[in-house]
Structure 1
Amino acid sequence: MELKEIADNVYACLQEDKGFGWNNAGYINLGEGVIVDTLYDIKHTKEMLELIQKINPNQIKRIINTHHNGDHTWGNQLFKDREIIAHQYTVKYMEEEKERNLPGLLQTAIKRPHRFPEGMKWFIDEISEFDFSDVDMTLPNHIIEDNLRLELDGFPCDLIYVGPAHSAGDLIMNLPVHKVLFSGDIIFSETTPLGWEGTHENWINALDLIKSLEPKVIVPGHGPLCDLKAVEELRDYFEFIYSEAKKYFDEGLSPLEASKNISLGLYKNWNGSERLIFNVNRAYREFEGTEPWDAPFNEIELISKGYELRTFWEK
């Protein structure tokens, strides 16, 4: 883990992309201190906090959750007495996951993987370094419905709602004077994106909006620091996958068979290329047009299909 200054008083907390859950976060040493996303468990969030306290041991006023996924929110409990800002959809989905005790389920998967389908093994391996046993999901307490501008010691900080794209409650955070943008999981850098909720169109629109903001440095949700080139690459990826998925949808192939037939080319070099199945599956749901964007889907089944796709490629 590294806390890197990318502009005056603006820091990116970067983790090596080892698969599911290895996200990036940030810290702004202005406006009494702002953290952008917490990490997947308490241990790693504490490690980030220790790095931040070397810069400023006293200043953390606000936490921003860019969306609801656990790797961006499950460290919130360390900041229960602070202002935690998120979109209303982020809170909705966190409430549902808290009711399901998702941290407990994943902890069981790590400790007792034999209880889960064989196809879950690769996913469990990727999250095995985390410890969810002491996670107490802490919900945001400042809920927004759209955009919000903060003033941080006179510098503007814009929280912009761009969802549903990667997830229902996607926020990006733009610092226009510093020319820095924290994208949450709207941007995956050198790693395969993952479509949970949301729509293809909204994700494309979010990428176009980021391009129009002209940041010089982007802190992606996953992967190394990047710039607008990564935005173009990700946009091209989505347009390519959507087009290929439509072709195989029209031919009557299943999402898994379509994924096996898609030739990824250079995208095959991105980490987590088997996540293709999630993106194809979401495209198929849009083509069918019979369910809303937020209709539930079987996550375990898709993870298992990702394993089958990975196995197919290895043959």
Structure 2
Amino acid sequence: MGDGGLTQIGDGVWAVVRTPGGWGEANTGLVVDAGTASLVVDTAWDTRLARRIAEAQQPLVSRAPITEAVNTHSDGDHWWGNDTLPATARITTSAAALRGMREDLPPAAVAALAAAGRPLAALPGMLGAAAAYMRRVPGGARLPLRSPRLPDHTFDTVLRLDVGQRPVQLERLGPCHTAGDLIAHVPDAGIVFAGDLLFIGSTPILWHGPLENWLAAIDRLLALDADLYVPGHGPLCGPAEIRELRAYWVWLEQAGREQYARGAGPLEAARQLVRDPEFVRWGVWIHPERIVLSLSTLFHGWDGHPPAAPTVVRRARAFADAETLLRELSAKR
């Protein structure tokens, strides 16, 4: 839901599920121990939406104040709304995610780049294409004018948070999508908040890698055998949808390696792969052009580079390729 409305998804557990789960449409959550305390999972980067979510939570937390919050990773659409949290709430993330938050572009810079994309998009070549795609990323969100509050509590591998009498188990499974991806498991409700380790109905992006870590993370999520999973983007899901995401990554790794071995670059490889009959099953996901973003990361690794967040130059080149592929796909429809 894009209006800040909360949906109850379990005993004392709510979520704001924003579909279809495109750029910036990140899901958030709330865990309440009635009459005691509450925990928030992720915050929206659109300042208007973040405030609406905070207002919608008030009746649920009036007698169970928010004492804890969790940011699942470093992408701004999952934590740039942290200023709407109570000042007394502790915010936890992984140590690797906190480093990423400090290193990433601040919201004002992202907003400026998106605004600059309008005139620059008319330029020919990589610069124009990258600028055009950058304009798509904020998706009309009103980003904060200044950098929001950072988490003040970190962990490395696993951590248990007590929300009143309810345990919430945090586990870092990154680096995968980003350097410090974590999940929040609410065992007494049978619910897992998976952050961007799960994109459902929305083409995932491998920014950091390695991909084998993401496959291991998916296996870990399945092993938890939860009743319900809240993805970072897209609708609530169960094991079947998670296995379909895993199948996509296995296919992309194998098919991408074949293209890499024959000397193709990420864009040419993506052009070939979206024509692969096997791709039909995933081509219905939104943002199919994002296949080239993940191929950029995979090719970078196969070139011998260690896993790392993309540099500004590498991200710009990948965005240019994504815009080019998107235009080609749109022209065929």
TM-score > 0.5 by shorter chain: yes
Give the AA of the match of 1:68.
Answer: S
Q: What is residue 185 of structure 2 aligned with on the other side?
A: 174
Letter in 1 for 2:73: H
Distance 1:72 1:111 in 2: 21
Q: Which residue of structure 2 lines up, in the alignment, with residue 86 of structure 1?
A: 93
Show the counterpart of 1:240.
251
For residue 189 of structure 2, give the secondary structure of its aligned residue in structure 1.
Answer: coil
Contact 1:249 1:284 in 2 (8 A): yes
Amino acid at match of 2:70: I
Q: Is the 8 Å Cα contact of residues 217 and 226 (structure 1) preserved in structure 2?
A: yes
* Separation in structure 2 between the aligned mates of residue 57 and residue 46 of structure 1, nearest angstrom: 16
Q: Matched residues in 2 for 1:187 and 1:18: separation?
A: 11
Asked if 2 retains the 8 angstrom alpha-carbon contact of 1:40 and 1:74, the reply is yes
Judge which range, 10-19 or 205-214, deviates more.
10-19
In structure 2, which of residues 41, 51, 70 is the aligned counterpart of residue 64 of structure 1? 70
Indicate how the Cα distance of structure 1 residues 114 and 228 shifts in structure 2: closer, same or farther if over 3 A, else same. same
Deviation at 1:78, TM superposition (A): 2.4
CA 1:135–1:81 in 2, change beyond 3 Å: closer, same or farther?
Answer: farther
- Counterpart residue number, 2:292: 277
Q: Which residue is 2:308 aligned to?
A: 294
Shift, 1:18, TM fit: 5.6
| Higher RCO, Cα 8 Å, sep 6+ | 2
The 2-side partners of 1:115 and 1:121 are apart by 7
SS of the equivalent of 2:16 reads strand
Q: Secondary structure at the match of 2:92?
A: strand
Alpha-carbon displacement from aligned partner over 1:52-95 (angstroms, at most 9, x marks no partner): 11322352111100000000010112234420000011111111
Say whether the 8 Å CA contact 2:191–2:227 is kept in structure 1: yes
Equivalent position to 1:35, from 20, 31, 40: 40
Q: Which amino acid aligns with 1:9?
A: G
Q: Could you tell me whether the CA contact under 8 Å between 1:87 and 1:161 is conserved in 2? A: yes
Partner of residue 128, structure 2: 118
Distance in 2, Cα, partners of 1:128 & 1:212? 35
Aligned-residue sequence identity (percent) comes to 27
Amino acid at match of 1:24: N
Contact 2:73 2:94 in 1 (8 A): yes
Q: Within 2, Cα distance between the matches of 1:128 and 1:232?
A: 29
Amino acid at match of 1:108: A
Give the length in aligned residue pairs. Answer: 311
1:51 equivalent in alignment to 2:56: yes
User: Which structure 2 residues correspond to residues 154-233 of structure 1 after superposition, within 5 A?
Assistant: 154-233=165-244
CA contact (8 A) 1:75 1:135 kept: no
Give the distance between the partners of 2:243 and 2:53, measured in 1 at CA: 30
Gaps of 5+ in 1: none
> Do the aligned residues in 2 keep the contact of 1:42 with 1:134 (CA within 8 Å)?
no
Distance in 2 of aligned mates of 1:126 and 1:299:
13
SS of residue matched to 1:271: coil
Asked if 2 retains the 8 angstrom alpha-carbon contact of 1:77 and 1:136, the reply is no
Match of 1:73 among 76, 79, 92: 79
Moved more, 76-85 or 207-216: 76-85
- Tell me the C-alpha RMSD between the 2 structures: 1.7
Residue 257 of structure 1 pairs with residue 268 of structure 2: yes
Residue 303, structure 1, aligned to residue 319, structure 2: yes
TM-score relative to the length of structure 2:
0.89
Which amino acid letter does the alignment assign opposite residue 55 of structure 1? L
Which moves more between the two structures, 36-45 or 145-154?
Answer: 145-154
Length-normalised TM-score, structure 1: 0.93
Task: Spell out, residue by residue over 1:205-228, the C-alpha distance to the aligned partner (whole angstroms, 9 max, x if none).
Answer: 000000000011111000011111
Structure 2: runs of 5+ lacking an equivalent: 122-126
